[in-house]
Structure 1
Amino acid sequence: MASERPHTGRRRNEAAREAILDAAVDLLGRSGPAVTIGMIAEAAGVGKQTIYRWWPSKGAVLLEAMSRRAADTAPGTDTGTLAGDLTAFLTDTFLGAAEESARAALRAVMAEALRDEPAAEVLAEFTARRRGALREILERGQARGELPRDADLELMIDQAYGLLWYRVLIGHAPLTREVARSLARTLAG
């Protein structure tokens, strides 16, 4: 049970929201797609109605929780070089996604997004933020002259995240530090 929070009636309570997101990430990693709103509510110490005040669906809450975890896992460090920035970002991203609980959670949120429109919208926002973080790294590389001005940054971003999602969803090969470094070298040219 979560620690005591002040009761605020029908208003949204930020402490409850944080408890819900924490519980969702934890449960998603342990239970994958079997997570229910009831399980999240119980783990967070709130009622189901509290969750529905913040999010329109289970998929939406799960995706927001995953989005927060991804931002914490791969914040986007400026090392001073494109190769260094890409290596740090991709390594953090890949190793975060390689954890069994994270892989299960990513598969579950993708499944939710495929069948739930509010979840699909949250996934689109999440994807846009993660793509934006990688785009910043590539743009810094262009500004330093490490990438040509006419480099197709969108294709490079697709290559990075395409490899990640392919390996997460298909599972034919692992996401490792070595794979991240190799991809970073390839993208940095």
Structure 2
Amino acid sequence: MTAEPEPRRHTGRRRNPAVRQAILDHAADLLAAHNYSAVPIDAIAQAAGVSKHTIYRWWPSKGAVLLEAMVERARRETPGLDTGVFADDLEAFVAATFRTAELVGGLLRGIMAEAQRDPVAAEGMRQFAGGRRDELLALLARGLEQGEVPAGTDLDLLVDQIYGLMWYRLLMGHAPLGDDVAARLVRSLIDPR
């Protein structure tokens, strides 16, 4: 019988979850306040009190760290809802999504720009958008089951309309997002009279 191998000794500093979270928080804060190009890795490292090397140990690129920061911020700011009243839940979800998008607009625009150049950021953006789509689709499907959304409604198209308006306003900057816009959009989509 062979003896179990000895566990390998750790040869470097262990990753600290608090440091990781500080990096993500500072990255999101910096990008929300500045244009994407004005937030180099050096600035993130300095704000978080770490070295660039620490950041690159966890993320392969600036786009990757900023994308994860965006995902974390969006999850915190737009939690799932289920109060039992579909229209209220949908309006609250869309309003929270729009508020968060305005709050981190620089981050979203920067990540979208980075996703055009960086395949890691592009894949991360697809995963992020896919997760947000799935959350909204689940909410709309609940409305369909409850009879709050008309039978035969194309739920994918509704999702595209909601996120399409958000991205259009964020990227073009022609009009703000807000609770009133969310309320009007939801009413126009689920009760188009």
TM-score by length of 1: 0.89
| Alpha carbons 2:150, 2:190 under 8 Å: kept | no
| Structure 2 CA distance for aligned equivalents of residues 145 and 29 of structure 1 | 39
Q: Percent identity?
A: 56
Q: Find the counterpart in structure 2 of residue 128 from structure 1.
A: 130
Specify the alignment match of 1:75 in structure 2: 79
Moved more, 30-39 or 57-66: 30-39
**Does 2:63 align with 1:59?**
yes
Instruction: Give the Cα separation in 2 of the matches to 1:184 and 1:31.
Output: 31
* Runs of 5+ consecutive residues of structure 1 not aligned to the other structure: 1-7
| C-alpha contact 1:63 1:122 (8 A) present in aligned 2 | yes
* Pair 1:164 & 2:170 matched: no
Q: Does 1:112 align with 2:114?
A: yes
1:188 equivalenced with 2:190 (yes/no): yes
* Structure (1 or 2) with the larger CA radius of gyration: 2
Aligned to 2:35: 32
- 2:138 & 2:189 partners in 1: Cα distance? 14
Distance 1:116 1:175 in 2: 28
Instruction: Report what 2:18 is aligned to.
Output: 15
Q: Give the alignment of 1:137-152 within 5 angstroms.
A: 137-152=139-154
| Alpha-carbon distance in 2 for matches of 1:65, 1:91 | 21
Q: In 1, distance between residues paired with 2:150 and 2:136? A: 16
Residue aligned with 1:174, SS: coil
AA matched with 2:120 = P
Matched, 1:85 2:85: no
User: More deviation in 147-156 or 170-179?
Assistant: 147-156
TM-score with structure 2 setting the length: 0.87
Q: Matched residues in 1 for 2:12 and 2:46: separation?
A: 18
Q: Which amino acid aligns with 1:28?
A: L
Task: Using the TM superposition, name which of 90-99 and 150-159 deviates more.
Answer: 90-99
Contact 1:76 1:88 (8 Å CA) reproduced: no
Mapped contact 2:86–2:143 kept (Cα < 8 A): yes
